[in-house]
């Protein structure tokens, strides 16, 4: 069991909070050391997520967090927790934490959803461990016909010569046989060891008998393995690059990123994500699930214009890349769907920023599509939670172009069937909005 740690919490883009006194009391250090602790943590996060500024800001009224969410270790006994702005921070209900890690895994490993279908049986548990386990076994089924085998040296004793014995051992063999060095080509290696270890972690947490049976078969295929003292992050050999995804997921499982989120028992030094990227990935995944991948093009390039430099007489293209283009199915018109995160909830007002309007107009003109739906995460409120519920908060009409601002409820997406409900409600909402 890990060492117990206390936790302090903030909400991304939320109100400033005086953390200095609280941390000083918990750690027994003065204000300057607290400021240094938080500043260094912010720098580490900025470096990890490639942010241009420190995301932990010290203002007149205290500290606030921007542009990230997650869990950061400040000291061996203290953690800083930052909740995404669209999930909020509920001290009495930890569901938001499950939602957060659910979304984090979907964003980090888009292949987790490659095997999720909207028609999935309602009786099948779709908790996070089951989802991850299901993805792991499906990935394995795709690559198992090309086993990840490598060469290794093995020292053995046998009267049957299979390797290179020392000359002296031929004259004076041991009771077990000749000592010899053998080169084997098999599955015993550090990458398969990681996958097997991740499988063993998942097995006790999976309740679905079907998924559990497939995990047991995976374990049988890869056993036995040597016990390595640490989790290997070495790249999979190029000839086995098809195993990259399953190995990357296994490493995350071994690092405890998301399967458990209990206070004080986080096994990794920290786990942070860029929230806008998670939101963009979620919207793209949900639109593909709801409308069907064959109707949706994501990040498709459209030519907006050309740039000409008069000093060098060079010409370059100006292109735009909307998140999703949903093609018409005969009943529903063609529409652009673009995920928006910044400039909305944190400003405490329901309006589309001018910069988002200009970008939407560029998307519309380049793609020759007259309707643009901007999807924002809904701020947590006291209303009944309906995952995926869409609410229009603004419509902007410029000539024949309509830009529609929509906020979407995200909470409880980690519950059983939550992702399906989010995708269906989002797509039904978009269809009804654009008429």
DSSP string over 108-151: H-GGGGTT--TT--TTS---HHHHHHHHHHHHHHHHTTS---EE
**What values do phi and psi take at 38, rounded to 5?**
-70, -35
CA distance 84 to 12: 5
Given this model, what pLDDT does residue 361 score? 96
Helices and strands, number each (H, E), in the chain: 11, 17
pLDDT higher than threshold 70 for residue 73: yes
Given this model, what pLDDT does residue 117 score? 36
Which residues have C-beta within 8 Å of that of residue 172, sequence separation ≥ 6? none
Higher pLDDT, residue 131 or 146: 146
pLDDT higher than threshold 80 for residue 12: yes
Which residues have C-beta within 8 Å of that of residue 90, sequence separation ≥ 6? 96
pLDDT in tens, 400-432: 999 999 999 998 888 888 888 999 999 999 999
Q: What's the CA dihedral at 337, 341, 344, 348 to 10 degrees? A: 140
Given this model, what pLDDT does residue 261 score? 42
Given this model, what pLDDT does residue 81 score? 85
Rounded to an integer, the average pLDDT of 288-311 is 90
The DSSP secondary-structure symbol of 149 reads -
Task: Kindly report whether the peptide bond that precedes residue 224 is cis, defined as omega within 30 degrees of 0.
Answer: yes
CA terminus-to-terminus distance, the chain: 55
Rounded to an integer, the average pLDDT of 194-215 is 89
Q: Please give the distance of CA 267 from its chain centroid, rounded to a whole number.
A: 18
pLDDT higher than threshold 50 for residue 146: yes
pLDDT in tens, 231-249: 777 888 899 989 988 888 8
pLDDT in tens, 341-360: 875 555 556 789 899 999 99
Provide the percentage of residues in the chain whose pLDDT is more than 70. Answer: 84
Residue with tokens 């109100």: 15
Rounded to an integer, the average pLDDT of 137-159 is 85
Confidence label for 109 from pLDDT (cuts 50, 70 and 90):
low
Rounded to an integer, the average pLDDT of 329-352 is 79
pLDDT higher than threshold 80 for residue 101: no
Please, are residues 283 and 227 in contact by the beta-carbon 8 Å criterion?
no
Given this model, what pLDDT does residue 379 score? 82
Confidence label for 132 from pLDDT (cuts 50, 70 and 90):
confident
Given this model, what pLDDT does residue 114 score? 43
pLDDT higher than threshold 50 for residue 123: no
Please, are residues 332 and 373 in contact by the beta-carbon 8 Å criterion?
no
Confidence label for 118 from pLDDT (cuts 50, 70 and 90):
very low
Given this model, what pLDDT does residue 405 score? 94
Distances (CA, A) of 278 to 72, 282, 341: 18, 6, 10
Given this model, what pLDDT does residue 414 score? 81
Task: State the DSSP string of 387-414.
Answer: TT-EEEEEEEEETTEEEEEEEE--TTTT
Q: pLDDT averaged over the chain? A: 82
Higher pLDDT, residue 163 or 150: 150
CA distance 421 to 412: 10
pLDDT higher than threshold 60 for residue 257: no
pLDDT higher than threshold 60 for residue 286: yes
Run of H or E including 87: none
Rounded to an integer, the average pLDDT of 87-96 is 69
Rounded to an integer, the average pLDDT of 149-162 is 77
């Amino acid at each position: 069991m890990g060492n117990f740690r206390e936790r302090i919490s903030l909400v991304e883009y939320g109100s400033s909070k005086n953390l200095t006194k609280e941390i000083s009391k918990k750690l027994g250090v003065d204000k300057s050391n607290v400021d240094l602790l938080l500043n260094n943590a912010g720098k580490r996060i900025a470096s990890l997520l490639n942010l241009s500024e420190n995301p932990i800001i010290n203002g007149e009224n205290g500290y606030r967090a921007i542009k990230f969410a997650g869990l950061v270790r400040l000291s061996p006994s203290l953690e800083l927790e930052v909740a995404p702005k669209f999930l909020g921070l509920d001290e009495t209900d930890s569901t938001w934490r499950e939602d957060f890690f659910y979304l984090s895994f979907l964003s980090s490993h888009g292949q987790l959803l490659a095997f999720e279908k909207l028609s999935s049986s309602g009786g099948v548990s779709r908790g996070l461990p089951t989802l991850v386990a299901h993805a792991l076994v499906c990935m394995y089924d795709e690559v198992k016909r090309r086993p990840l085998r490598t060469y290794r040296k093995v020292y053995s004793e046998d009267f049957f010569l299979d390797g290179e014995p020392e000359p002296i051992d031929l004259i004076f063999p041991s009771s077990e046989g000749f000592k010899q060095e053998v080169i084997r080509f098999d599955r015993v290696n550090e990458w398969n060891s990681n996958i097997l270890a991740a499988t063993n972690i998942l097995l006790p947490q999976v309740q679905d008998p079907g998924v559990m049976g497939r995990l047991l078969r995976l374990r049988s295929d890869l056993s036995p393995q040597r016990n390595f003292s640490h989790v290997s992050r070495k790249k999979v050999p190029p000839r086995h690059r098809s195993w990259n995804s399953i190995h990357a997921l296994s490493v995350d499982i071994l690092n405890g990123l998301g399967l458990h989120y209990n206070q004080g028992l986080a096994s990794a030094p920290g786990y942070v994500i860029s929230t806008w990227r998670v939101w963009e990935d979620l919207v793209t995944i949900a639109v593909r699930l709801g409308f069907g991948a064959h109707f949706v093009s994501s990040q498709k390039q459209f030519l907006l214009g050309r740039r000409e430099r008069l000093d060098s007489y060079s010409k370059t293209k100006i292109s735009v890349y909307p998140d999703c283009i949903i093609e018409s199915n005969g009943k529903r018109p063609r529409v652009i769907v673009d995920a928006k995160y910044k400039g909305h909830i944190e400003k405490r007002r329901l309006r589309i920023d001018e910069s988002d309007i200009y970008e939407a107009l560029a998307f519309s003109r380049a793609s020759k599509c007259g309707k643009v739906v901007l999807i924002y995460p809904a701020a947590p409120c006291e209303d009944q939670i309906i995952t995926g519920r869409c609410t229009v908060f603004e419509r902007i009409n410029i000539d024949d172009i309509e830009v529609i601002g929509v906020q979407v409820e995200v909470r409880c997406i980690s519950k059983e069937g939550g992702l399906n409900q989010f995708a269906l409600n989002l797509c039904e909402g978009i269809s009804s909005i654009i008429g």
